[in-house]
Amino acid sequence: MTVKSIQSLVNSAMQEIKTITANEAYEMLEGNNCNLIDIREINELDNTGRVEGANHIPRGMLEVYLDPNSPIIQNGQVDKNKELVLFCAGGVRSALAVKSLKEMGYEKISHIDGGFAAMSSSGFKII
C-alpha cells in the first residue's frame, strides 16, 4: 500500500475543482452572488481576524453542516442556489474541501487561490 502525500491529494483535487482569485471572490460577494465560507479553525480566526460577510464552518464539520437536511441549509443561512466559495489560510484545506463537497453533489462551488492570505491583501474587510 502506498500512502499519498498531501501534495499528491491537493494536486489531484486541483484537476477537478474550480479555483478563483481573491478579487473574483470579492466581486462575487459584493454582487451578493455567493456564500463565502471560512473553513479555518476558530483559533485561526481569533489570531488573524475574520472576513466580513463570511460564514464560519470549520473544516471538520463542513460536510455535516452542508448536508442538505442540516439546519444551516434548511433555514437558508447558506443559500444553496448561490455558489459556495470556500477559503482557508492558504488554499490547501479548501481545495480538498471543495473536492469533498463536489462528491456530495454540490456543483456551484469553488475555492480561493491563496486563501485568507490573499484575501487580506485584496478588498476584503478583516474584522
Dihedrals phi, psi of 72, to nearest 5 degrees: -60, -40
Q: What is the pLDDT of residue 1?
A: 85
What are 81-114's pLDDT values in tens digits?
Answer: 999 999 999 999 999 999 999 999 999 999 999 9
16 vs 101: CA distance, rounded Å: 12
Q: What is the pLDDT of residue 10?
A: 86
Q: What is the pLDDT of residue 119?
A: 97
Superfamily of 19-120 according to CATH: Rhodanese-like domain (3.40.250.10)
Domain ranges of the chain: 19-120
What are 50-89's pLDDT values in tens digits?
Answer: 999 999 999 999 999 999 999 999 999 999 899 999 999 9
Q: What is the mean pLDDT of the chain?
A: 95
119 vs 75: CA distance, rounded Å: 28
DSSP string, 73-89: HHTTSS-TTSEEEEE-S
Closest by CA position to 96, among listed 109, 80, 78: 109
Q: 3-class DSSP state for residue 25?
A: helix
